[in-house]
Structure 1
Amino acid sequence: MPSVVDHVLLNLALNLSANLSDDDQYQHILEGIDQAFPCDASALFVLDEDGFLSPVAVKGLSTAVLGRRFFPDTHPRLKAIMQSRTAIRFDADSPLPDPFDGALLTEQQNIDVHDCLGCSLFVEGQLVGVLTLDALNVGAFDNLDWVSLETFAALTAATLRNIAQFRALKAQNRKQKSVTQTLIQQARSQHNEMVGLSPQINQLRTNIATVAQSDYAVLITGETGTGKELVAHQLHAQSHRSDRPMIYVNCAALPEGLAESELFGHVKGAFTGANSHRAGKFELADGGTIFLDEVGELPLILQAKLLRVIQQGELQRVGSDQHLTVNVRLIAATNRNLEQEVELGHFRADLFHRLNVFPILVPPLRQRDGDIPVLAGYLLEKVRAQFNAPHLHVHPKVLNQLERMSWFGNVRELEHSLTRAALRAIQSNDATISVHHFDSVLTPDDVEMTTNHLPQESQSLRTLVEEYQKELIVHALGKTAGNWAKAADFLQMDRGNLYRMGKKLGVNS
């Protein structure tokens, strides 16, 4: 038949994985001592970072003990227990002072002679605490089962270690949540507002509000510079996942050979340079949103693996045979005509239909009636704040000229043009931004050049845009003596993206 001690040890072991509060865990330990060993009082101490022993539970002792901290150098018995790797018993006539003198809960008075012992609590060579047992009767521990006591002490040490680790994990989780919230708020503050009063922009706002609260996949389309990323952030901010991260992925900039690892992660040793396990973008976005920008640039082989994640919510890290489940809201954006890409065999039809559950078209700036003056005012306000130029304003003639432009670079082009003009005005100590502060973009010659791209007969918008992009790349290369890096700086874009665009459009390096 199992003994009482066996039952106590079993319960203590089971409590290691029980969902109990810290105080309940501590008290269960002392309840077990009371059942298994002949003692009238017991105390459990945790060693803190400062080297003090802090009582976390007492039995048979005044609760006033819980309000104290014990420094080992001033309590020789506790110090002796800490220095011994096995249980230590003190003689009844030991000259060492008892740290609990006057704290025993008993009707007898002036008891200063009793049996006492203690166990140091070590885990993997590290001292984590101390356990003490006191008996009113001298000789109470003469027939103690020391193996059971050592076993009890080992399980107690493991319990303290578990509690400490769980507390550390909770603290780390709270800190991580705080950091995540801070980053989310910072990310939101860094993204521009959706500015405009036109019917087109109001319809865009309506479309966002319609689908934001759902978990439907959204495909955002529109020309370069229209604000597709801004729309993605608005969708996430208005969703029920807004308190979780939105992970951004630039599909056009994914490095060849590492694209799968970037999206789905890898395990240690999966390939050369994989020195540790790494979570991919989809794992990082679990519970939140993933934004696949320039999704039309994904290679076909990666499209197939992406389709599996969307369909089943499952992924595999590179080099692993384990399936991981993720819950991710998918938002994608592209300036390509994906239906045409499907017809050409450049994009999977099944993936297109999975992404295109709720399409949102971001209108080009030239179609947003009356929004250019509003945008100009908003963008100029940012410049005023950044350069401390509160009196800077735009001449009415400039606003009229801005409204006549086609802005094939859309809001981004307008912002860059206006910012450069503002800086020139500030440098010249001019309070008014005039036509001459702008690049040649506002001169009659350039207006005439721009109108050359306006077709007299029906043509594909994509063809027209690509022709203009090609001319811009050739122009930038001409300005920079054929240097792609400098040309990318000239056009204010990523060098890799520019090179890929040039290669696609047939621009020779």
Structure 2
Amino acid sequence: MNPPSLLAALLPLMADLAQDLPEAERHRRLLETLRVLLPCDATAMLRLDGDWLVPLAVNGLSGDTLGRRFRVAEHPRFVELLEAPGPVRFAADCGLPDPFDGLVEGVQGHLPVHDCMGCALQVDGRPWGVLTLDALEIGRFSRVELDVLQAFASLAAATVALATRMHGLAERAEDERLRADSYAQAAGHRPRQLIGHSAAHKRLLREIALAGPTDLCVLIQGETGTGKELVAQALHAASPRAKKPLVSINCAALPDSLVESELFGHVRGAFTGAVGDRRGKFELADGGTLFLDEVAELPLQVQAKLLRVLQGGQLQRLGSDREHRVDVRVIAASNRNLADEVRAGRLRADFYHRLSVYPLQVPPLRERGRDVLPIGGFFLEEARSRMGLGAVRLDAGAQAALLAYDWPGNVRELEHLLGRSVVKALGRHAQRPRILTLGADDLGLGVTGMASDAAREARPDLAAAVQAKGLGLRDAVADLERRMVLHALAQNDNQWAAAARALQVDPANLARMAKRLGVARA
């Protein structure tokens, strides 16, 4: 490709810099331009975050890829891309495992011998991330494409750097790295993050962005397993207190006799076993944030003492007359309706109103649509790394089952189910497979899981197909796919490119899917 063509393809990316685009949309457009320049079956853009590569945008890969986190040391191809001075084209018969094995749309099982190339993105002289391209046709890429990829990568890195500075992301990224280091030292592993792209999840992120930078008390409410602690961590990370400690306490796990000591501390001799002075959680969180999980479990007398701390920052250690002043922001959480708890007399009204200055509702997983796939991808990648597996993937039936299930236990249930399913699926193999594929049977989710009216309304065709007499899950999935393809074509005047965009799949993958489903082009 000659330079004018390359410049013409990149001009829209430059024009995008003048627009206030979401980061995800900017990355999506970048990959679309890349596929115009270098036609291929799948591309990905990943950002380097410490020892991990985090997918920011994918094209032609399974939707759960965006929820995965790739430890660089576990993937030799990523190591080579990050260490190479320029683009790398891997030989078609390269023996290095492919990180996206099992994730390319339209490919069942492990990737066949194929063309693969990629390069590191350099920002301010340091590796910022990587771009990868996969082509199922052997010999698709050549030395010419390497030169084009190098030119594209240089200009793409420049747009990334400029957008980063425009939005102030450089400072927040550094803060996030510092917090990640502190979490890693304390917990021994990388902290989890909020993942999702649904409208309900985006509303939650907007609320966090509004409430985070303030010092207001936030009351997080939501069903068990929705990730309220992750929301509290996100609020703390978005606040001016981010570099100060975030101290968490589960109020439901504390015996009544120890609640005051845990919260306010004690002095020597305050009670049997108090052999020395001890700071409580409020003092440990001084300057930072205190997260009170399951706050409705606190005894009424403790609620009264907490009011004084919330109002003036004054506390007394148990057994002491001396006052201590603390500067602490309080975030509380509960899976109960605290207004009902007040009416039932189990929660003080003044304590409730002091906590709920900024109420925040976390949506259940069943209201988050396709978010279940990237979240599931995150948990599968954790299980893969923990068990030392090569790759773990979900087949079409398993993905459909996850989307159809009602998730009464929310994200926590999804995590436990996928971890259990990986173990069950592994037990079916005498030797560890190169790619462990989870099917619907491994998940063990029956149609009884689709009990919610909301779930049925969101997926009427699938629910009807699964419940139809004599129709198994595999046939039901194929029937749903066929209906969705035909519906998308009808809604877009039989324009296949527009239908592919509506279905959020690559046009080439849509063509292969249509052929498999028996949907003919007009």
Distance 1:222 1:393, change over 3 A: same
1:268 and 2:252 correspond = no
- When normalised by structure 2's length, the TM-score is 0.50
Shift of 1:435: 2.0
Please name the residue that 1:384 is paired with: 384
For 1:320 and 1:452, the matched residues in 2 are separated by 56
Please name the residue that 1:319 is paired with: 319
Secondary structure of the 2:244 match is coil
Please name the residue that 2:300 is paired with: 300
Distance 1:370 1:343, change over 3 A: same
1:342 and 2:345 correspond = no
The Cα offsets for residues 80-130 of structure 1, whole Å up to 9 and x where unpaired, read as xxxxxxxxxxxxxxxxxxxxxxxxxxxxxxxxxxxxxxxxxxxxxxxxxxx
Contact 1:191 1:230 in 2 (8 A): no
Please name the residue that 2:440 is paired with: 435
Code of the aligned partner of 1:437? D
Contact 1:181 1:243 in 2 (8 A): no
| Structure 1 segments (4+ residues) deviating >4 Å | 179-182, 450-455
For 1:435 and 1:184, the matched residues in 2 are separated by 35
Secondary structure of the 1:202 match is helix
Please name the residue that 1:361 is paired with: 361
Bigger Cα displacement from structure 2, 380-389 vs 346-355: 380-389
Secondary structure of the 1:258 match is helix
Secondary structure of the 2:214 match is coil
Contact 2:394 2:437 in 1 (8 A): yes
For 1:297 and 1:453, the matched residues in 2 are separated by 31
Shift of 1:451: 5.9
Shift of 1:452: 11
Please name the residue that 1:211 is paired with: 211
How many correspondences in the alignment? 273
Q: Which structure is richer in relative contact order (CA contacts within 8 A, separation 6 or more)?
A: 2
Contact 2:184 2:191 in 1 (8 A): no
Please name the residue that 1:417 is paired with: 417
Contact 1:198 1:368 in 2 (8 A): yes
Distance 1:234 1:452, change over 3 A: closer
Shift of 1:427: 2.9
Shift of 1:242: 1.2
For 2:282 and 2:338, the matched residues in 1 are separated by 23
Consecutive unaligned residues in structure 2, runs of 5 or more: 1-177, 457-522
Contact 1:395 1:433 in 2 (8 A): yes
Contact 2:183 2:191 in 1 (8 A): no
Shift of 1:183: 3.7
For 2:454 and 2:415, the matched residues in 1 are separated by 22
Larger C-alpha radius of gyration, 1 or 2?
1
The Cα offsets for residues 352-403 of structure 1, whole Å up to 9 and x where unpaired, read as 1111111111000000122112222222122222223233211111111111
Code of the aligned partner of 1:447? G
Please name the residue that 2:288 is paired with: 288
The Cα offsets for residues 168-194 of structure 1, whole Å up to 9 and x where unpaired, read as xxxxxxxxxxx9995445458543111
For 1:220 and 1:205, the matched residues in 2 are separated by 13
Code of the aligned partner of 1:435? A
For 2:426 and 2:244, the matched residues in 1 are separated by 41
Please name the residue that 2:449 is paired with: 447
Code of the aligned partner of 1:270? A
Percent identity (aligned): 48
Secondary structure of the 1:363 match is coil
Code of the aligned partner of 2:370? G
Distance 1:347 1:190, change over 3 A: farther
Please name the residue that 1:138 is paired with: none
For 1:423 and 1:378, the matched residues in 2 are separated by 16
For 1:451 and 1:228, the matched residues in 2 are separated by 22
Q: Which runs of structure 2 are paired with 1:474-489 in the superposition (5 Å)?
A: none
Secondary structure of the 1:432 match is strand
Please name the residue that 1:370 is paired with: 370
Contact 2:291 2:332 in 1 (8 A): yes
For 1:387 and 1:192, the matched residues in 2 are separated by 18
Please name the residue that 1:399 is paired with: 399
Code of the aligned partner of 2:260? E
- When normalised by structure 1's length, the TM-score is 0.51
Please name the residue that 2:240 is paired with: 240
Distance 1:183 1:354, change over 3 A: same
CA-atom RMSD, angstroms?
Answer: 2.4
Consecutive unaligned residues in structure 1, runs of 5 or more: 1-178, 456-509
Contact 2:290 2:328 in 1 (8 A): yes
For 2:230 and 2:275, the matched residues in 1 are separated by 36
Contact 1:218 1:332 in 2 (8 A): yes
For 2:191 and 2:335, the matched residues in 1 are separated by 20
Contact 1:288 1:328 in 2 (8 A): yes
Q: Which runs of structure 2 are paired with 1:66-85 in the superposition (5 Å)?
A: none
Contact 1:342 1:349 in 2 (8 A): yes
For 1:209 and 1:454, the matched residues in 2 are separated by 29
Secondary structure of the 1:269 match is coil
Contact 2:256 2:299 in 1 (8 A): no
Contact 1:207 1:360 in 2 (8 A): yes
For 1:210 and 1:203, the matched residues in 2 are separated by 11
Shift of 1:423: 1.6
For 2:194 and 2:347, the matched residues in 1 are separated by 30
Secondary structure of the 1:321 match is coil
